[in-house]
Amino acid sequence: MEKIKWTTNQLPKSKDRNLEIMSLENVKHARAFHQSFPQYSVTPLAQLNNMASYLGVNGIYVKDESYRFGLNAFKVLGGSFAMGRYIAQQLGKDISEMTYDYLTSKQLRDEFGQATFFTATDGNHGRGVTWAASKLGQKSVVHMPKGTCKPRFDNIAKEGAKVTIENVNYDECVRLAAEDAAATPHGVIVQDTAWEGYEEIPAWIMQGYGTMALEAVEQLKAAGVKRPTHVFVQAGVGSLAGAVQGFIANMYPDNPPTTVIMEAQAANCLYQSAVAADGQARAVGGDLQTIMAGLACGEANTISWDILKNHSSIFVSCPDWVATKGMRMLAAPFKGDSQVVSGESGAVGMGLLATLMQDENYKDLRDAIGLNKDSIILLFSTEGDTDPESYKKIVWGNTESC
């Protein structure tokens, strides 16, 4: 069995200019935008009291994004808000004017026309972009990497997008989407990663993800928790991780929780960058084979990397078995705890937490994180069973995946 790898954050700090992207004010604007959608509702925060008692911690809370907009994943928060910000910018309007009613109106079509939004995806981001484009009367084109599962392809195609599966990995699909957008009249790339010269739209996507983190903090307070002691968040390119980390740093500036950044071992570019400890982002190439398809990204978002290296506590590289363990535990909870249907990329936090509390081989990591009987942990289950057949195989005991 492959071992979990980890490192503490010994990275040199930057001027932290990107932390402002995830300011409380910016996140509140994003949440107000999402609240204008008729499909909006606050997703559940599962309180696993019996699981916490079993593992020897004070509290475990899991934000369940399988309920988000009926799309089974959180990603739509980023793509939709970025579209709203882009259209507002093109029209010289404020984002507060970009309500769902306006964005779906004849007035918007007359003033803005129709754009084609390009993106690359392992599944959830592309589905969110195409759903938003469809609802707002825009067009979308999606490139998916080799090895993509048919259910994820079909979920995107049914929203009316032009979808292709390319014979390259995710990072090459991103480059292809950028090239196609540049060659298309009124073409726009809406990508949840950033690179030099492409940072504005990724920053808007991250702000959109902030809606989820803001909801979670408010739900914790309603449950009597002033602040979590620990936040576990998974990373592909790092957009979600940077968004959550940035929001948490702004929310609790005087006493920030310990943040644990988790990656799939086959695509652990942030972990590799943290190990190098010189502040520069490293890339991981190849096919990036992992069941955690949503985390199969080998090149870091430059904005997120800047936030993470300034504020995150621990970087962890997780083999696939960590995710399968988490999926099974969340699917079969203790009596009295809520079930969470969590997909491969959503359950890695639960699997890691359980392993750290149960396996003495990882006592050093448990101690480095500071997990104990007083710990209150916030996890994000970022997707449900986006590939139902794979989910069943894993949860029912067969770890083979597409």
- CB < 8 Å & 24+ apart, contacts of 392-396: 394/291, 394/324, 394/327, 394/328, 394/344, 395/327, 395/328, 395/331, 395/332
Q: Do 313 and 373 belong together in one domain?
A: yes
DSSP conformational letter for 1:
-
Please report which helix (H) or strand (E) contains residue 165, including its range.
strand 162-165
Alpha carbon distance 279, 9 (integer Å): 10
Residue 401 within a domain = no
238 in any annotated domain = yes
Cβ proximity of 338 and 316 under 8 Å: no
> Annotated catalytic, 146?
no
Q: Which of 197, 216, 241 is the last residue of a domain?
A: 197
Same domain, 257 and 355: yes
**Given 122, 320, 385, 387, the catalytic residue:** 122
The pLDDT value recorded for residue 122 is: 84
Does 253 reside within a domain? yes
Same domain as 270, residue 155:
no
Amino acid identity of 366? Answer: R
- pLDDT, residue 124, reads 87
Residue in 314, 334, 202, 192 with CA at minimum distance from that of residue 261? 314
Q: Report pLDDT for 401.
A: 46
Q: What is the CATH number of the domain that holds 353?
A: 3.40.50.1100
Of 197, 214, 229, the residue that ends a domain is 197
Mark whether 311 and 223 lie in a shared domain: yes
Any idea of the CA torsion for 141, 294, 272, 353, to the nearest 10 degrees? 160
pLDDT digit string (tens) for the chain, length 402 residues? 899 999 999 999 999 999 999 999 999 999 999 999 999 999 999 999 999 999 999 999 999 999 999 999 999 999 999 999 999 999 999 999 999 999 999 999 999 999 999 999 988 899 999 999 999 999 999 999 998 988 899 999 998 899 999 999 999 999 999 999 999 999 999 998 899 899 999 999 999 999 999 999 999 999 999 999 999 999 999 999 999 999 999 999 999 999 999 999 999 999 999 999 999 999 999 888 999 999 998 999 999 999 999 999 999 999 999 999 999 999 999 999 999 999 999 999 999 999 999 999 999 999 999 999 999 999 999 999 999 999 999 999 865 444
55 and 91 within one domain: no
Who's near 280: CB < 8 A, 6+ residues apart?
Answer: 273
Phi, psi values for residue 121, rounded to 5° = -160, 155
CA distances from 156 to 127, 146, 172, 193, 304 (A): 5, 16, 19, 19, 26
The count of other CB atoms within 10 Å of the CB of residue 370 is 13
**Is the same domain home to 186 and 208?**
no
Whole-number Å distance between alpha carbons of 129 and 156: 9
In a domain, 402, yes or no: no
Cα 136–chain centre separation:
23
Do residues 162 and 140 share a domain? yes
Residue 249 lies in a domain: yes
Q: Are residues 205 and 341 in the same domain?
A: yes
Assign residue 336 a region (left: φ > 0; alpha: ψ between -120 and 50; beta: otherwise): left
pLDDT of residue 123: 82
Distance CA 66, CA 72 (A): 4
Exactly one of 63, 75, 135, 309 is catalytic; name it.
Answer: 75
Q: Are residues 12 and 113 in the same domain?
A: no
Does 98 share its domain with 228? Answer: no
Count how many Cα atoms sit within 13 Å of the Cα of residue 255 in the half-sphere of its side chain: 4
- Write down the pTM of the prediction: 0.95
Q: Rounded to 5 degrees, what are φ and ψ at 246?
A: -65, -45
Residues 61, 87 within the same domain: no
Assess whether 192 carries a catalytic annotation: no
| Of residues 49, 71, 69, the one with CA closest to residue 59 | 49
Contact 322, 355 (CB under 8 A): yes
CA nearest to 197, candidates 288, 97, 302, 318: 302
Work out how many domains the chain is built from and give that number.
Answer: 2
Please spell the DSSP secondary structure of 7-69, one letter per residue: EE--PPP---TTGGGG-HHHHHHHHHHHHTSTT--PPPEEE-HHHHHHHT-SEEEEEEGGGGG
Q: What is the DSSP letter of 374?
A: T
Q: Which of 162, 182, 197 is the last residue of a domain?
A: 197
Q: Residues 105, 106, 107, 112: is their CA dihedral positive or negative?
A: positive
* pLDDT reported for residue 287: 87
The residue with tokens 């480095």 is 368
- 125 plus 188 within the same structural domain: yes
- Residue-number span of the structural domain to which 276 is assigned: 5-73+201-395
Is 63 within a domain?
yes
Q: Is residue 400 part of a domain?
A: no
**295 within domain boundaries:** yes
